[in-house]
Amino acid sequence: MPEQRTATISLLVDNEAGVLARVIGLFAGRGYNIDSLTVAAVDDARQQSRINIVTSGTPMVIEQIKAQLDRLVPVHKVADLTQLGAHVAREMALVKVVASGEPRVESLRIADAFRARTVDTTPGSFVFELTGSIDKIDAFIALMRPLGLAEVSRTGIAALARGQNTIQQ
Amino acid sequence: MMGQPQSGAEILLRALEEQGVEVIFGYPGGAVLPIYDALFQQNALRHILVRHEQAAVHAAEGYARSTGRVGVVLVTSGPGATNAVTGLVDALMDSVPVVCLTGQVPTHLIGNDAFQEADTTGITRPATKHNYLVKRAEDLARVIHEAFHVARSGRPGPVVVDLPKDILIGPAPYRSKPESAHRTYRPRTVPDAGAICAAVTALKRARRPIVYAGGGVINAGPEASRRLTHFVRRTGFPCTNTLMGLGSFPASDPHFLGMLGMHGTYEANLAMHGSDVMLNIGARFDDRVTGRLAAFSPGSLKIHADIDPSNINKNVAVDIPIVGDAAQVLAALIEAWEADPEPAEAIDDWWQQIETWRGKDSLRFTQRKNPDALIKPQYAVRRLYELCRESGRDVFISTEVGQHQMWAAQHFRFERPNRWMTSGGLGTMGYGLPAAMGVQVAHPDALVIDIAGEASILMNIQEMGTLAQYRLPVKVFILNNQYMGMVRQWQELLHGSRYSESYSAALPDFVKLAESFHAKGLRASCLGELDDVIREMLDTPGAVIADIAVDPAENCYPMIPSGAAHNEMILGPEQAERAASVTDEGLMLV
Ligand SMILES: Cc1ncc(C[n+]2csc(CCOP(=O)(O)OP(=O)(O)O)c2C)c(N)n1
Ligand SMILES: [Mg+2]
């Protein structure tokens, strides 16, 4: 079994009805993984949206995913950021911790260390806002779990290549 | 056309006309009444009224595959659209260019569970190459032109355009076919020169080369088949075809090894297995072709030319990928072959080896010759082929799905492309009769024959009515073995001869059935009647059903059992016990 790899793939697509369903349907229909998916309009003039997908599979499957995505008529551009080299990927998470006493204090201390912002406070709870890589957010959530982690909401990633390269090239 | 504003339906027809459409296969209903009203008032477009929407799509497929043009379908909303889905998936799997226009409830009712509303774009999204819902009248003409562009370019496929009734009734502006390419959909057709060079270098050094050509060559137009033939003859390489590729290389040419794959010839499969350089043009390493992947052509350097990059490295890792249109790839290969000063390796030993494989005569069968002998299905196809040839007419063959389909592929020989219509990827029983109908509409003077099984033919038998209405002289040649033979064969070989639900009980009298549909019915019950029945069928000016009683126990050989490798072929009943050694893993495969 060849090694699995994780890939961050960005798509530039026509901002039209059904385009997200096409992308998701492709993944569901062909049995590919989606670890994270985000979509938003990025260019009003051209009516284009950007979709960022984190997926995993063997190198052959990742190539197949890209080729299948490229075949969709409203998809303009498929970029495998993981393969293109260095890139930045950021996700935002809201994390609710329900705790009192020492765990409550400890959660605040960890939040501070992670540069999380406290966006809601009650005597028995906090909501932290945290931005960072997937790994950083995973780590933060793992640390909060024993302290009274109650709920998590994550955005999925936004990603760009480092340097002067853009998805248009 | 100035002055009076035109309705959406009129704009639609105008766009179809500009696209060169001559025929529409369709069936009316409430949501498309405005289109039928517009059709009524014009003469440029011919409408063929089918008897079931699935058949409309298969007819459009037959039309498209026999002409190289886009087939057009028109169906109503809801059940009209859902009935078309099997045909759409069939066209998707076999890369057939079809534009299917579906009616839809008016835009303000979409999502309200209105009468005959179905989420057509949702249902057909994975069933089409692309689909559209036209929500604004100003988009209508553009979308129609775009639909044809997408259906026919790159790897062809079906496109659905869903048309709400208010868009069809209200006024709409016309827009001509755009001159420039589509904004985003521009598939690559010209191959990379470096890849062509690398391919020729490898091919020149090959000692055991093989050319493996598929439906992509046929889709690339007749010139691609001419170039394939030229290239193979020039190089002296052996050539095999997939089921979809039959006709892209002349079957009578000594370089031809026949079809490969599950029911392919011994020489084609062993040459694939033993080759050192394989050139795949326009085929997709389908599981019917490769058998067990891990054992597929283990020692070969693989060159794969395909217009669809997603076909490359999907099932089989290739060494030299070439993205491009088959006709252009072949032109480039021929040019590079001539330009390369290196002499090609001698391949006489390879041919000698192939001839010993060919000597096994893997398509052999035994037909007893007394007049009251049971007819062997293979023999019936051979005689049909020979008598068709004697007729000197241009012959088009379609098939249903099952053993008869494989016997047709093995024993009917094709010299030219676009003459063979079969459901390869989806394997749709009920494909053959409507497909033949579409072929006959496109080629009114040709001899069009559906080689059928008695079970499959019943799946779209209602189309006999369409044949009658339009006086389409299609011949239905039923190899009647009283079984879903292919199912029975698998049950015999893999499920202990437990023939669960595979007997064709309560069959109709096909002669009377033909007559009730205003066609001629013929029957051959034994060998002595076969030739006369075929001759009478061919000589009859109108539609015919010929019911040929064949040996119910005959199996289709050679066969690569599922999960086996090419060199583990079963050649005949004497080796059938080999199938018993199929692993559980193999049993799981379809
Ligand atoms: C629509 C559809 N349903 C079921 C099947 C599965 N199937 C494949 S071949 C076959 C039997 C076909 O019988 P017949 O038409 O008599 O052909 P034969 O194999 O006997 O030549 C069946 C049921 C199919 N291919 N298509
Ligand atoms: Mg049968």
Mean pLDDT, residues A76-91: 93
| pLDDT at residue B584 is higher than 90 | no
Question: CB B254: neighbour CB atoms within 10 A?
Answer: 10
Please provide the size of chain A in residues: 169
Judged by its nearest atom, the ligand closest to the C-alpha of residue B404 is: 1
pLDDT at B118: 98
Give exposure, B393-416, as e/b (b: 16+ Cβ within 10 Å): eebbbbbbbbbbbbbbbbbbbbeb
Q: Is the CB of B472 under 6 A from ligand 1?
A: no
Find where tokens 């199938």 sit. Answer: B579
Distance from CA of B545 to the nearest CA of A (A): 40
Q: What is the DSSP string of B287-355?
A: HHHHSSGGGSSTT-EEEEEES-GGGTTSSS--SEEEES-HHHHHHHHHHHHHH--SPPPP-HHHHHHHH
Cβ-proximal residues to B362 (8 Å cutoff; 6+ apart), any chain: B265, B266, B267, B557, B558, B569, B571
> Are the C-beta atoms of B22 and B46 separated by less than 8 Å?
yes
Alpha-carbon gap, residue B379 to B411, rounded angstroms: 8
pLDDT value at position B563?
85
Q: Are the beta carbons of B404 and B453 closer than 8 angstroms?
A: yes
Q: Measuring CA to CA, which residue among B255, B262, B235 is closest to residue B405?
A: B262
Q: Kindly report, residue by residue over B292-346, the tens digit of the pLDDT.
A: 999 999 999 999 999 999 999 999 999 999 999 999 999 999 999 999 999 999 9
Q: Are A73 and B317 an interchain contact pair (Cβ–Cβ within 8 Å)?
A: no
DSSP B377-443: HHHHHHHHHHHHHHHT--EEEEE-SSHHHHHHHHHS--SSTT-EE---SS--TT-HHHHHHHHHHH-
Mutate to test the interface with B, among A58, A69, A71 (most CBs of B within 10 A): A71
Which one, of A41, A38, A44, A47, lies nearest residue A9 by Cα? A38
What are the tens digits of pLDDT across the range B536-560? 999 999 999 999 999 999 999 999 9
- Position B255 scores a pLDDT of 98
- pLDDT attached to residue B22: 98
Instruction: Tell me: pLDDT of B451 over 60.
Output: yes
Query: A85: pLDDT confidence band, cut at 50, 70 and 90?
Result: confident
Average pLDDT over residues B64-72: 98
Secondary structure in 3-state letters for A97-116: EECCCHHHHHHHHHHHHCCC
B456 Cβ below 6 A of ligand 1:
yes
| Residue B239 reports pLDDT greater than 70 | yes
**E strand residue ranges, chain A:** 5-14, 36-43, 48-57, 75-80, 87-98, 117-122, 125-132, 149-161
B4-8, B160-164, B213-217: which range is least confident on average?
B4-8
Instruction: Name which of A62-71, A78-87, B280-289, B573-582 the model is least confident about.
Output: B573-582
Q: Would the CB of B401 count as within 6 Å of ligand 1?
A: yes
pTM of the model: 0.97
Residue with CA nearest ligand 1 atom 3: B429
Q: Is the CB of B429 under 6 A from ligand 1?
A: yes
Q: Quote the pLDDT of residue B542.
A: 98
Alpha-carbon distance A51 to nearest alpha carbon in chain B (angstroms): 17
B558 preceded by cis ω (within 30°)? Answer: yes
- Is B437 annotated in the active site? no
pLDDT tens profile A17-69: 899 999 999 999 999 999 999 999 999 999 999 999 999 999 999 999 999 99
Chain A residues with CB inside 8 Å of B133's CB? Answer: 17-18
pLDDT of residue B200: 98
Mean pLDDT of chain B: 96
What integer is the mean pLDDT of B224-245? 98
Q: Does A73 touch chain B (CB under 8 A)?
A: yes
Q: How far apart are CA A34 and CA A21, in angstroms?
A: 13
What pLDDT score was predicted for residue B68?
A: 98
CB A141 within 8 A of CB A115: no
Complex ipTM? 0.92
Of B9, B37, B30, B28, which is closest to residue B114 (Cα–Cα)?
Answer: B30
Our mutation pick for probing the ligand 1 site, out of B381, B429, B451, B483, counting the most ligand atoms within 8 A of Cβ, is B429
Q: What are phi and psi of B272, to 5 degrees?
A: -60, -45
CB atoms within 10 A of CB B568: 18
Looking at per-residue pLDDT, the higher value among B579 and B133 belongs to: B133
Average pLDDT over residues A59-83: 95
Q: Residue A1 — pLDDT band, cuts 50, 70, 90?
A: low
Residue B193 banded pLDDT, cuts 50, 70, 90: very high
Per-residue pLDDT band at B186 (split at 50, 70, 90): confident
Pairing state between β B520-524 and B544-549: parallel
- How many residues appear in chain B? 590
Residues 138-177, chain B, touching A (beta carbon < 8 A): 150
- Asked whether the predicted pLDDT for residue B3 surpasses 70, the reply is no
User: Which residues on A lie below 8 Å from B309 (Cβ)?
Assistant: 67, 70-71
pLDDT tens digits along B564-582: 888 889 999 988 888 877 8
pLDDT grade for B590, boundaries at 50, 70 and 90: confident
Considering chain B, what percentage of its residues have pLDDT values greater than 90?
93
Q: Tell me, what's the pLDDT at B252?
A: 98
Helix or strand holding residue B520 (H, E): strand B520-524
User: pLDDT for B337-393, tens place per residue?
Assistant: 999 999 999 999 999 999 999 999 999 999 999 999 999 999 999 999 999 999 999
Closest CA to B249 of B216, B279, B226: B226
Q: Which residues of B touch A73 (CB under 8 A)?
A: 129-130, 150, 184-185
Cβ contact (<8 Å) for A67 and B312? yes
Q: Confidence class of residue B185 from pLDDT cuts 50, 70 and 90?
A: confident
- Is residue B410 part of the annotated active site? The answer reads no
Taking an 8 Å cut-off on Cβ atoms, the answer to whether A64 and B314 are in contact is yes
Mean pLDDT of B117-121: 98
What's residue B580's pLDDT?
Answer: 74
Instruction: Taking each helix axis as running N to C, give the angle between helix B377-391 and helix B403-411, from 0 to 180 degrees, rounded to the nearest 10.
Output: 50
Give distance in angstroms: CA of B77 to centre of ligand 1.
Answer: 29
Q: Are B455 and B481 in contact (CB under 8 A)?
A: no
Q: Using the predicted structure, report yes or no on whether residue B11 has a pLDDT greater than 60.
A: yes
Query: Chain A residue with minimal CA distance to B318?
Result: A60
Percent over 70 (pLDDT), chain A: 99
- Which tokens is B286 given? 């389908």
Q: Is the Cβ–Cβ distance between B562 and B587 less than 8 Å?
A: yes
Contacts with B184 from chain A: Cβ below 8 Å: 14, 73-76
Closest CA to B305 of B282, B278, B328, B284: B282
d(CA B273, CA B465): 47
Output the pLDDT for position B179: 80
Largest CA distance in chain B: 77
Ligand 1 atom, smallest distance to B486 CA? 19
Could you tell me the two tokens for B349?
């030993």
Main-chain phi, psi angles of A87, to 5 degrees: -150, 160
Give dist(CA B199, CA B280) in Å, integer: 11
How far apart are the CA of A84 and the nearest CA of chain B, in angstroms? 19
Q: What is the mean pLDDT of residues B438-452?
A: 98
Domains of chain A: 5-84 (3.30.70.260), 88-154 (3.30.70.1150)
Q: B98, B71 in Cβ contact below 8 A?
A: yes
Specify the pLDDT at position B587.
82
Instruction: Kindly identify which residue of chain A lies nearest to residue B153, measuring between CA atoms.
Output: A73
Mean pLDDT of chain A: 95
Ranges of beta strands (E only) in B539-581 are: 544-549
Residues B155-172, mean pLDDT to the nearest whole number: 98
| Predicted local distance difference test score (pLDDT) of residue B576 | 84
Q: Measured between CB atoms, does A1 come within 8 Å of chain B?
A: no
> How many angstroms separate the Cα of A56 from the Cα of each of A60, A66, A93, B197, B407?
11, 12, 22, 34, 43
Q: Which DSSP helix (H) or strand (E) runs through B75?
A: strand B71-75
Chain A residue at shortest CA distance from B154:
A71
Tens-digit pLDDT profile for residues A109-124: 999 999 999 999 999 9
Over residues B27-38, mean pLDDT: 98
Cβ of B86 closer than 6 Å to ligand 1, yes or no, is no
The CA distance from B584 to B457, in Å, is 33
- Residue B301, ligand 1, Cβ within 6 A: no
Q: Name residue A63's amino acid.
A: E
